[in-house]
Amino acid sequence: MTAVPLIGVLALQGDVVDHMRALEAAGARAVRVRRAEELDAVQGLVIPGGESTTMSKLLEIFDLFEPVKKRLDAGLPVFGSCAGMIMLADEVLDGRPDQRSFGAIPMTVRRNAFGRQVDSFETEIAVEGIAGDPFRAVFIRAPWVERVGEGVQVLARVDSGDGEGGEQGGRIVAVRAGACLATSFHPEVTADARVHEYFVGMVRGADAGPVE
């Protein structure tokens, strides 16, 4: 794997520019992905936040859903934040009946679990695999993970204030499963690039070069 991997950001909706900035700060080259041929060139992919039902529709309109799924199934490293987490789940609660997701991570995700836009918040959390001070996590109409399947590593939890969240305490807000990383929060809106550095490290360690 090249020392400076080429990582795409799905550029149909969401905070594409800030993800690209964070990836470059983390040592990668970042490009927008809107077409299948652009997807073929990348060694990793970020699926940003936004609105998951709209993103699902746009992927179909741009004929990108199946190409993305094919590459994810083949082991392309992917990082999904907020709506991107929803898109990676194999089960989505409170979604539209026609909403599609990639099923790349065996987990159940609840849309808008932390509430509406007015319920957005920030808090400091410990993220497994990220050294140093706690990470300042920004939650905007965020989902949470209600169930994880075999092979899914829980990286972070946060207290939702509902008294639920299992024996470990708190709702699951960051997970990893193989080459897939997902967070409920938006690390790209902060100046802290450590989550993106973690993902760039995943891409460097993977064998998922451009499609020949």
Q: Which residues are catalytic?
A: 82, 186, 188
Supply φ then ψ for residue 54, to 5 degrees. -65, -40
CB 78 within 8 A of CB 45: yes
167, 91, 20, 112 alpha-carbon torsion, rounded to 10°: -70
State how far the Cα of 30 lies from the Cα of 46, in Å rounded to an integer: 10
Strands annotated E in 100-194:
105-110, 121-125, 135-139, 144-148, 153-158, 171-177, 180-183
Angle at 72 between CA 96 and CA 44, to 5 degrees: 115
Strands annotated E in the chain:
6-10, 29-33, 44-47, 78-81, 89-93, 105-110, 121-125, 135-139, 144-148, 153-158, 171-177, 180-183
